[in-house]
Structure 1
Amino acid sequence: MRMLLALMVLLAGLACSPAAEVALGDPTPAVGPVGVIESLAEETGGGVFRRMGSDPPTIDPHLTTDTSSAEVVVEVFSGLVSFSTDLRLVPELAERWEISPDGLVYTFYLRQNARFHDGKPVTAYDFEWSLNRAVDPKTASPVVETYLGDIVGVVDVIRGRASRIRGVEVLDDYTLRLTIDAPKAYFLAKLTYPTAYVLDRENVESGGPQWADTPNGTGPFRLAEYRVGERLVLERNDLFYREPARLKRVVMHLAGGQSMAMYENDELDITGVSLFDLDRVLDPNEPLNKDLVVAAPSFSISYVGFNVNQPPFDDRNFRRALAFAVNKPLIADEVMAGQVVPAYGILPPGMPGYNPDLVGLRFDPELARRLLAESKYADPATRPPIKLTIPGTGGSVSLD
C-alpha cells in the first residue's frame, strides 16, 4: 500500500514582536505518519519502505543540530529517555529513573537487555564516556551547553577548567547518576536530544574522524549503506531492546527529482502533495485519489521576524500596523488552498501549552491604518524601504 500525503503541515506567516505576533499554523490531520508506516509494514510484511531524503550533514549525534541529520541519527542511536508520538517523556535505554526530593539528583536504571548493534551490552560506563565526549572541547558540539549545561561540571569542561564532568557518576554497570545545578522541570526533556545519546567508545576511537560512516549504534535501525548524493539505507536492528521495527529496510533517495513523478513511477512509497498537484489528486475520478491521506501536524510555526533595532521596525506602532494589515485567513484559504490555518500565537496545535482560546492579533485594516498614521514612519516619502529576502527552490516555487 502506497500513500500520498496532503501537505496539511505547510506553515507561513508574519511575526512582529512579543506584543504583535501573527503566523499561519496547521489544522488537525485525519491520519498521521505512524498510521502510514504501520499500513506499509503490514502490507509489505516488514519489507522495504522507499522515500525521498537529503544528505545528513552529520551522523554524529553529538554534532547534530539539523533535521536532516536527526531523522537518521534518531533511528541509529538512542539515549536515556525519549518522547512518545504524543510528546510524553518515556523510558528509552533507561527503563526507569528516580529524582531526589530536592530535584538535583537523577538516578537512571538502564535496561539490562540493551545492546549495541554488534551485540555488546550498553552500560552506565558507556554513558559516562559518551557524555564526557560530547562536552569535550575537541568534539566541538555547537549545542552541548544548551542541552547538557545543567549538569554540574559541564560548563567547567567546556571552558577548559576541568577534564571530566563532576555531575556524572557510575554507581554500577547499569546505574547512572546525574547531578544538576538547580531544580529544573525540563531537564529530562533536554536528554531526549541527540547530544545526550550513548556511543560505542571502541567504535568512535578505532574509526577515527570517519567513525560515523560505520556507526555501532543502539537504535531500531542500523546504517547499512550510505552513498553521498545517491541513497541511504537503514536496516532493522533485530537486537533492539524494545519491539523490533516492523519495516525490514528504509531506503532514502538522495539524488533529488520530482517526487510526485517518482511516486507515479513506483519508485517511492510515499510523497507529499504540492499545491501544484493538489487539485488533481483531490479529484475522486483521479486514480491517485485513493492513495491520499492527510499528513500529521508538524510542531512548528513559520513566520517573518523583524529586527526591532532597524528602521522602520524600531517603531512599535509600525510593527503592529503590519500585523493587523495581514489577512491571514485569505492567505490560508486562497494562496495556500486551505492547507494551513491562521495561528495567533507561537505554539501550533498539538504542542504542549497550546491555547486554542488565544485571541491574538486579527486582521483589522482600519486599525492598521490608524497605527501606521500614529507611527513615526507615517510619511511614505521618508519611510525606509523594506526588503524581504526569502529562500526558495525551483521545486516549490508555488509555495515560496
Structure 2
Amino acid sequence: MRKIWRFIVLLLLVCALLIPSVGCQPWGLSSGQDILNLWDIGPITLDPAISSEMTSHTYVMQIFSGLVRLDAELEVVPDIAERWQKSQDGRTYTFYLRHGVKFHDGEEVKADDFKYSWERACDPATSSQTAATYLGDIVGAKDMLAGRAKEISGIRVLDDYTLEVTIDAPKAYFLCKLTYPTAFMVDRINVEFGKNWWRQPNGTGPFKLKKWEQGQLLILERNEFYYGELAKLKQVVFHILAGNPMAMYEKGEIDVTPLFRNYIDLAADEASPFHRELAVTPELSLYYIGFDTTKPPFDDVNIRRAFCHAVDKERIARLILRGMLAEAKGILPPGMPGYSQRLEGLEYDVGKAKELIAASKYGDVSNLPPIALTVSGYGNNIPDYLGTIIEEWRENLGVEVQVRQLEPENFLYHLKQERDEMFMLGWVADYPDPHNFLDNLFYTGSENNISGYSNPGIDSLLNQAAIEPDTVLSDSEGSTRLSMYQQAEQKIVGEAPCLPLWFGINHILVKPYVKGYQLNALGIPDLSQVYLERR
C-alpha cells in the first residue's frame, strides 16, 4: 500500500504494552453470537481518496468497494463490475456494472458514480497522495492532477451500467491498481455534505459505520443492502487504544490480537492455549532503512554499500526479533512474483565495509558529515533492533548515528520535508506484482521514492517491464517480464539506495470460536467472511 509504514503500527502496538491494564477498561464492551471485538489504533481517515496507510485501509475496505477486488489468493475478481472486456491493443477496458448495487442509504449505484469518484481523487483540491500512483495510468488523469483539465478524458460513461476506461499503454497490472482504495466509489451527495463527510460515510461495502467515538470506539454494522453475500457478523467493535491488547485477549475482552515478541516462547509451547490459537501468515512486506542519496554522505554509493555490509541482519532477526520477521536480502518478498533466491544481497562483511569507505570520496569515517536517522514514535522509545543496528555501525565502522523521532501522526506527512540522512520505513504490497515495489520505491521522481534515488538505466528497464505483455506471474522461469524485474532488483540492491532489513510475517492469536478470520498476504482481513461459533 502506497505509504504503508507498517513499522508505525508495530511501534504503537509495542507502546500499548506499556499501558497499565488497571483503569483501562474497554469502552462499551459488547459481546454476542455475532459481534466481533477487536483492538486497534484506529483510522486516520475513512476517505478512500486520502487513505494511504494500513490502519485506515482496514476500515475503508469494509465500508467501500470498487469495480474489482482481490480474492483470498490475491487474484483480481469482479466486484461492482460483474465483468469486463479488454481491447485488442490492451489499452481500453469496458466494465459492465451489476444492476441493483446500492449505497448504504439505499440509493442505486450508476457508472457515473465511478467517473465522479476518480475525478474527485485526481482533483488537486482533494490533495490525494495516492491518485497519481493508482489512477495515473488513465489517459487524462495526469492533466487533471496538474490542474490542466476539469475531467479525465480517458473515462467515458456509455450508459448507467457501462464504463469505458482508456489507459496510456497496455499494462498487465492495471486491474490490480483498481483494487486499491483510491479507485473505490464514493457517494457524491455524501461528499458534498461537508468537509468531514467521511465521519459519516455512505459506502457500498459489506459493512457500514454505526458509531465512531474517536480515540475510544468504532463500530461497523452489517450492510443489509450489500450486493454480494451478506456479512455473517452483525457488528465488529474496534476498541481504540483501549489498553494492553494481550491482557484484554486473555480476559476475553477482545477476540483477536497481534502476538508480541515477549509471548513467542509461550505460544511455541504446545501445552499453552496460545499455541493452538496462534496463526502465522507471511506478508508481502519489506522493512528497510532508506538513505538520502541526494546529499552527503549517502550521495556516494560506496558509503551506502558500507553501511549495508556493516549490519548482521541474520543475527538480529534470530536473537532479537526471535524469528518473527525474516531477513531481507533484496526488495521483493517471498511469495511475490519475481522473487528470486538467487539474488545477491550485500552480506554482512565488516572488512568489505571498511574497504568501501576507504574507496569512497570521503576516504575515512572522520571525513563524514554528521548522520541522523528519522524514525516514527513517541518519547524516544527506539526499537531494540534499531539500537543494535546503530551499535553495529558504531563498533564496525566507527560512525555515530543520531536518531531523530517524529510523532506518528506527523511522520507520514512531513518525512519528505524533515527527513535526515537516513530514515526507517516499511512497505506492504497493494497487489501481487513487482511493479508495486520497484517502481513505487525506486523509479526516478516517484512520490514514494523518498531516497531521491535515480538511475536512467533502471528507469528504462522498469518502463519496458511495465508494458511487457507477458502476464505469467506464478513462475518467473520463462517470463520475460519478471526477468526484467529481477534484473532491475539486482541492480537496485547493488546500488544500495536502502538497507533491506526484514520481510514481514504476521503472528496473531485468534479465539477458537472465531472462524474465517485470516490476514491475506497484504495484511488485511476480510471481515465479511468471519463468524463466531460459541458453544
Q: Indicate the TM-score class for this superposition, using the shorter chain for normalisation.
A: 0.7 to 0.9
1:180 to 152, 167, 191: 167
Partner of 2:324: 339
Superposed displacement of residue 45, structure 1? 9.2
Superposed displacement of residue 347, structure 1? 1.0
CA distance 1:381–1:132, shift in 2 (3 Å):
closer
Aligned mates of 1:329, 1:367 — CA distance in 2: 17
The answer to whether the 8 Å contact 1:325/1:365 transfers is yes
CA distance 1:338–1:113, shift in 2 (3 Å):
same
Letter in 1 for 2:317: A
Which aligned pairs between 1:332-371 and structure 2 lie closer than 5 A?
Answer: 332-371=317-356
Aligned mates of 2:347, 2:229 — CA distance in 1: 47
Question: Residues 110-163 of structure 1, C-alpha deviation per residue, up to 9 Å, x if partnerless?
Answer: 111422222322221222222232223333323222222222222333333332
Which aligned pairs between 1:61-210 and structure 2 lie closer than 5 A?
Answer: 61-205=48-192, 207-210=193-196
CA distance 1:204–1:292, shift in 2 (3 Å):
same
SS in 1 for 2:211: strand
The answer to whether the 8 Å contact 1:82/1:92 transfers is yes
RMSD: 2.6
SS in 2 for 1:219: coil
The answer to whether the 8 Å contact 1:97/1:107 transfers is yes
Letter in 2 for 1:334: L
Superposed displacement of residue 96, structure 1? 1.0
Alignment pair present for 1:373 and 2:343: no
Bigger mean CA offset, 59-68 vs 156-165:
156-165
1:235 to 213, 221, 231: 221
Alignment pair present for 1:288 and 2:247: no
The answer to whether the 8 Å contact 2:357/2:364 transfers is no
Superposed displacement of residue 301, structure 1? 0.7
Instruction: Report 1 or 2 for greater relative contact order, CA contacts < 8 Å, sequence distance ≥ 6.
Output: 1
Alignment pair present for 1:323 and 2:314: no
The answer to whether the 8 Å contact 1:46/1:246 transfers is no
Aligned mates of 1:284, 1:192 — CA distance in 2: 39
The answer to whether the 8 Å contact 2:81/2:96 transfers is yes
Question: Residues 18-69 of structure 1, C-alpha deviation per residue, up to 9 Å, x if partnerless?
Answer: xxxxxxxxxxxxxxxxxxxxxxxxxx99612111112322111122222222
CA distance 1:265–1:362, shift in 2 (3 Å):
same
Question: Residues 335-390 of structure 1, C-alpha deviation per residue, up to 9 Å, x if partnerless?
Answer: 11122221111011122222233232222333333333333444343343433343
Aligned mates of 1:163, 1:385 — CA distance in 2: 47
The answer to whether the 8 Å contact 2:103/2:187 transfers is yes
Aligned mates of 1:166, 1:339 — CA distance in 2: 47
The answer to whether the 8 Å contact 1:11/1:301 transfers is no
Aligned mates of 1:83, 1:341 — CA distance in 2: 25
The answer to whether the 8 Å contact 1:281/1:289 transfers is yes
Unaligned 5+ residue runs, structure 1? 1-9, 13-43
CA distance 1:11–1:228, shift in 2 (3 Å):
closer
The answer to whether the 8 Å contact 1:235/1:248 transfers is yes
SS in 1 for 2:285: coil
Question: Residues 5-29 of structure 1, C-alpha deviation per residue, up to 9 Å, x if partnerless?
Answer: xxxxx989xxxxxxxxxxxxxxxxx
The answer to whether the 8 Å contact 1:324/1:363 transfers is yes
CA distance 1:46–1:216, shift in 2 (3 Å):
farther
Superposed displacement of residue 108, structure 1? 0.2
Partner of 1:222: 208
Which aligned pairs between 1:278-317 and structure 2 lie closer than 5 A?
Answer: 278-294=264-280, 296-317=281-302
SS in 2 for 1:390: strand
Aligned mates of 1:149, 1:381 — CA distance in 2: 45
Aligned mates of 1:165, 1:383 — CA distance in 2: 49
Aligned mates of 1:378, 1:140 — CA distance in 2: 44
SS in 1 for 2:196: helix
2:262 to 276, 298, 301: 276
TM-score (norm 2): 0.62
Aligned mates of 1:385, 1:175 — CA distance in 2: 58
CA distance 1:238–1:186, shift in 2 (3 Å):
same
SS in 2 for 1:290: helix
SS in 2 for 1:195: helix
CA distance 1:339–1:209, shift in 2 (3 Å):
same
